[in-house]
Amino acid sequence: MTDVRTTAHQVLVENGITRIFGNPGSNELPFLVDLPSSIEYVLGLHEGVVVSMADAWAQVTGRPAFCNLHAGSGTGNAMGALLNARYSRTPLVISAGQQVRGVIGMEGMLANVDATMLAKPLVDWAAEPADAQDVPRALAEAIHTAVGRRMPTYLSVPYDDWDVECSDNARLASRRSVTVGREPTAGQIRRVVDLVQAAKRPVLVLGGDIDTDGLNDRAVQLAERLGSPVWAAPSLFRLPFPNRHELFRGVLPAGIAPISQALASHDLVVVLGAPVFRYHQNVPGDFLAEGTRLLQVTDDLAAAARAPMGEAFVAEPRAVIEALLGALPSTHTSHNHSIPDEPSCAEGGTHPEEVFAALRKRMPTDTAYIVESTSTNSSFWKQMDLRHQGSYFFPASGALGFGLPAAVGAALAHRDLGTGRHVVGVIGDGSANYALPALWSAVNLGVDVDIVILRNGTYGALRWFADLLDVGEVPGLDVPGMDLTRIAAGYDLPALHLPDAEALDELLAVPRPEGPRLLQIDTALTQP
């Protein structure tokens, strides 16, 4: 006899699932019985940590990540992390245990009566099979949808389904494959090429999908062929272009009027691999200046459909970039990369720029940075020199609690891939407290990661917003009295409190020990 559980495990194996990131509860334990040896279970101590680890792992490896969460309560704990995964377009498959079928309607303990509705706003597909025989097929659909649409999916399964004998028809799900093709037609490509060639002052706006798809180098070639400036799309979660390249203008401000002003001198704005646009600050104005035309290229139909202006072309950005490179004349112009200025200093404390200057100077040039220190964004970009694909990750929805577990997940991914790339988490003291159990995961997994805590005793980004919104002094902005090194000691994580950036520089100058470590340094409050 082959039961539903065995067939479901076969579905995972046939679709290349090698890890399950999870925090199980009673409802999930039957699913984990006799897990195949090819699948490793990665335990996280909080569901938000589980999903953020999986999110970063999937982004780095380019493979779908599978998460196992505890019913509705565990799903609720993971919602912020799931929101990040949605906006980073991460192929994440979430499974959650459900009560036995006979007590769901009675709302028995740990029953999730509207399981699909709980996750539905944040995932591209959610289901709870109406019959145990449909569980393997639904699981396959969850995986294929996550990969094909590059979005999280969610599957709730009553735990008495796993021991049900599986029919021959149901077992077919383990042998199903899905191939997605998004190649545009020759006529569609010609339309894009004509628009770009006709433009007198084009500008490129690149989104995180360019980095996700490994297109950074080709984007550089395209910009150099066009001789056009390059902006990163606002609310950036991955860096698609070398930030010190002479054509790079920075990250677009996340307000309507500032974006319009930044692009006003151009007759054509070509947006590649990004929504149009993910605004944040409320700065009203015209979406586009008079005489400015916008062309968006994305494989995300939803992003194309909801844009408020311009022309959208739904296709793989890769195909469009290659077509443009084939149509534009080759150039041999040498382009320079600027050298960062000397870091700013701060009275009575270490300026964050000094920390980032030390990291830039001492860390390998291909270091992957997971950043969740929102009040130091401007300092980070002023000092860092990032030229490699996959060098920058940020919580895509702004949901805090991403940084610590994502740093662990990224380090685990690079170890799995054998890249040898080092990972550094740059985390604010306020942000770190959203996901402290990730420190245990770092130790338990033994990953090589440096966690750099910038401690300023306040929610610096909120203080900036308080000024922006003109609300004055409001409660809840300060978080004094924390020492993350003492918390790290409780997780058996090596940790040091460094007095200043000079001490950090000296520490980073010597070979680091294997495994994870936490480095805490007090910094002055700065503007994001």
CB atoms within 10 A of CB 169: 11
Predicted pLDDT of residue 56: 98
How many other CB atoms are there within 10 angstroms of residue 40's CB atom? 12
Go through the domains of the chain in sequence order and give each one's CATH number. Answer: 4-175 (3.40.50.970), 186-327 (3.40.50.1220), 352-522 (3.40.50.970)
Active site residue 342: no
Kindly name the residue from 9, 47, 156, 174 that is annotated as catalytic. Answer: 47
Torsion angles phi and psi, residue 42, rounded to 5 = -110, 110
CA distances from 271 to 196, 202, 307, 325 (A): 12, 11, 12, 16
40-98 residue pLDDT tens: 999 999 999 999 999 999 999 999 999 999 999 999 999 999 999 999 999 999 999 98
**How far, in Å, CA of 493 to CA of 415, rounded?**
19
Q: What is the pLDDT of residues 383-416, one digit of tens each?
A: 999 999 999 999 998 889 999 999 999 999 999 9
Q: Among this protein's residues, is 316 annotated catalytic?
A: no
Q: Which of 26, 38, 265, 338 is catalytic?
A: 26
Q: Would residue 348 show up in a list of annotated catalytic residues for this protein?
A: no
Q: What is the pLDDT of residues 153-198, one digit of tens each?
A: 999 999 999 999 998 888 888 777 777 776 788 888 888 899 999 9
pLDDT digits (tens, 9 = 90+) for 292-346: 999 999 999 889 988 988 989 888 899 999 999 998 888 766 778 888 888 888 8
- Catalytic one among 25, 97, 207, 208? 25
Q: Count of alpha carbons within 13 Å of 523, Cβ hemisphere only? A: 31
The C-alpha atoms of residue 416 and residue 420 are separated, in whole angstroms, by 10
25 is a catalytic site residue? yes
Please identify which of the residues 9, 46, 70, 266 carries the catalytic annotation: 70
Task: Tell me what the mean pLDDT of segment 342-364 comes to.
Answer: 91
Q: Which of 28, 141, 316, 353 is catalytic?
A: 28
Q: Which residues contact 190 (CB under 8 A, 6 or more apart)?
A: none
The pair of three-digit structure tokens given for residue 386, joined into one six-digit string: 């990032």
DSSP for 128-147 reads --SSGGGHHHHHHHHHHHHH
pLDDT at 467: 63
Percent of the chain scoring above 90 in pLDDT: 70
Distances (CA, A) of 71 to 27, 79, 226: 7, 13, 52
Which of 280, 291, 446, 490 is flagged as catalytic?
280
pLDDT tens sequence across 15-35:
999 999 999 999 999 999 999
335 is catalytic: no
72, 208, 398, 430: the catalytic one is 398
Q: What is the model's pTM?
A: 0.93
Give the torsion sign (CA, 230, 233, 236, 239): negative
pLDDT band at 468; cut points 50, 70, 90:
low
Whether residue 368 has pLDDT greater than 90: yes
What's the distance, CA 145 to chain centroid?
18
